[in-house]
Structure 1
Amino acid sequence: MKISIVHPSDLRPFELRTWHVLLRSGRELVNPFLCPEFTLAVGRLRHDVRVAVIEDAVDIVGFFPFQRHALGIGKPVGAGLTDAQGAISAPGLELDPSWLLRRCELSVGEFDHLVADQFPAHHTSRHPSPFMDLRLGYDGYTDVIKRESGKTYRSTMYKERKLGRDADDVRQRYGITDLTALRTLVSWKSEQYRRTGRTDRFARPWIVQLVEDLLHVDTPGFAGVLDMVYAGDQPVAGHFGLRSDTVLADWFPSYDVAFAPYSPGLIQHLAMAREAAKQGIRVVDMGRGEKEYKNKLKSGDLLVAEGRLARHTPAAGLHWLVRTPLRATRNAVLARPRLREPTDRLLKGYGNVRNSLLRTDQDNRTKSAR
């Protein structure tokens, strides 16, 4: 076999068609983060994105998208944003990790949401990725939820009716391309990150631009999907994600905290699942991570893996020293509710203090400018 390393923009039309064919070979469900359109979109905004095109003597048999960082450290395309990672290859193709890394001029290839059947010898841990199962339609999904989380379902339906009485009629708009609505959602999400002590992804302009670019992508096999719930003309909750023909990736959900007593996030997710099922979506992948709303709405769990591929190089040794103990500590905390819950409270407290300091600083600047 041989490998050619190209920027995504240099992929030819027949190569993109081959990518789609390989992605669907033997797979019932296709995660949109593995589609070429996602790599193309990130590649338009980042200079470090590359794709390894893998060929045997006759055909293209695989693609390996990655971002090349300093010291030859390889990361998934859109690292930190993606809920599915890995190579796209013909069924049964086995790639030797050392050979792959050497041809890609990488010392390390790290991953934290790897498709669980890839490179199993190099997994350091596996993690559940909750999903909403729509394969029997929305009614089939809610039949399960009513059995498993009946109290949550009934409470959400009651709160939706109450919201309609208190604020105005509740309505949903699925698959819209309203940039103003998207920016409202992004502002909610950005504030949520800060409020809970997390890193604000939307503080990075390229991520804001990526989401806005993807809003306008709509093909049969890949699209950006914006879903908003309104009380009258007032937006109260929303979600922006990506879809393939079979999977909707739950990416950026958020809501107006003024409506928090009505559980608008749950209202929005159930409404979104109903409309997604009508559009042929079979699974809503809610992504790795322990969240209360995921536990309430999930039908089950997929699996993703964390780990790394590595060659015997000084850069790989340094990467292990810096990254591996930190990740092991983080995973140990997340796996134990007795540790996870206090840590979450600590982060929220930090977020509140940080926001208070930012507001004080802004107030002082305003007074100084007067």
Structure 2
Amino acid sequence: MNRKKILFVYYQNIQIGGVAKVLTNLTSELVENGYDVDILFLMDTHPDFYPVNTKITKYYIDSFANKYSKFATHINKKYKFIPKIYNIHSYFYDLGSYVVLKEWIREHHHHYDTIVSCWYKLSTMLSGEKNISQKTIAWEHSSFRVGGVLYDKLFRKNYKKLKSIICINKPSVAYYEKLNKTFFIPNMIDEIFEEQKSITIDQKENIISFVGRLDKTKNVIELVKIFHDTQKTSDWKLQIIGDGPERQNITQYIKDNNLENTIFLLGIKNPYEISQLLGKSKIFAFTSLSEAFGLALVEAMFCSNAIVSYDCEFGPADIINEKNGFLIPLHNQQLFAEKLELLINNDQLLDSLIQSSYAESNTWKKEKIIQQWEKIL
């Protein structure tokens, strides 16, 4: 049995979020495969939003208790009316996080064969620590553009000191492999989706689905407008799964255009509920402005959905092809609506894409992803 000891480092597991979700899924698989796994959270002790395997030891360090982080919170509250005050807040909070992480990691790093940092800022912090950087893998959950000029031109140069880099989209691989050994490993989905059987078109309803956070980046308001403009029979519905700051704007648009009987905001659902809802829908629509990967697209494939998505940076182009749907140039609402109409009015094409989309989902099964991780570890 492999008893290599691995430490994963991330901020928290208190709310819905892609990183915490895939972190708990991956670590559970690794510990069941014989690895000795710990997770370090940069937050005080908190209940898990996503269940953590009971074989995993969790450690907590309260980055918010540091004086720099406290100052960051103070200025963000007191001076929130100042433009871009949050940027200043972030710099001070990051400094506080670095101080507490450095203290803990210097004391405990010798217990671990490998350290996996789950966010680019944490990877930057660890890359500057001698002896620690050499056994640290940067697990990049965002695009290489995140962080702006400061990280791009200055901090990421230290990635050369790391053991290696793992990316979840291919453009990021091309960027990082100039700095260090870099690997493309997609994110792992919940087991409930892998357990889905193929669903035929006659078992489904005339539903188009979206799953994700309702924020400006996910751009759901544009999807609602596209659906409104799409020529379709009255029995077609749009179900939106998720919540976030844009919910009120979306609700108001639905109300203003009398769409209450065709567009439904279902709120946050657990993975089982999402799999059941996607199992009923025929088409999955995605109008995000940027993605690091696009896990919801893969989940939709496992639930036998044809996909229509904007070709945003970076994830969808790694996932979508002629066998599972259509990639639409960003903000081309007319073409997006045309592709929806094509699928709505052509049962033969839609059925073919539903079947081949499910077949394509085999590419993203966790067994293959774990094999890639184990090869690197």
TM-score (norm 1): 0.30
Q: Larger relative contact order (C-alpha < 8 A, sep ≥ 6)?
A: 1
**Greater strand share, structure number:** 1
TM-score (norm 2): 0.30
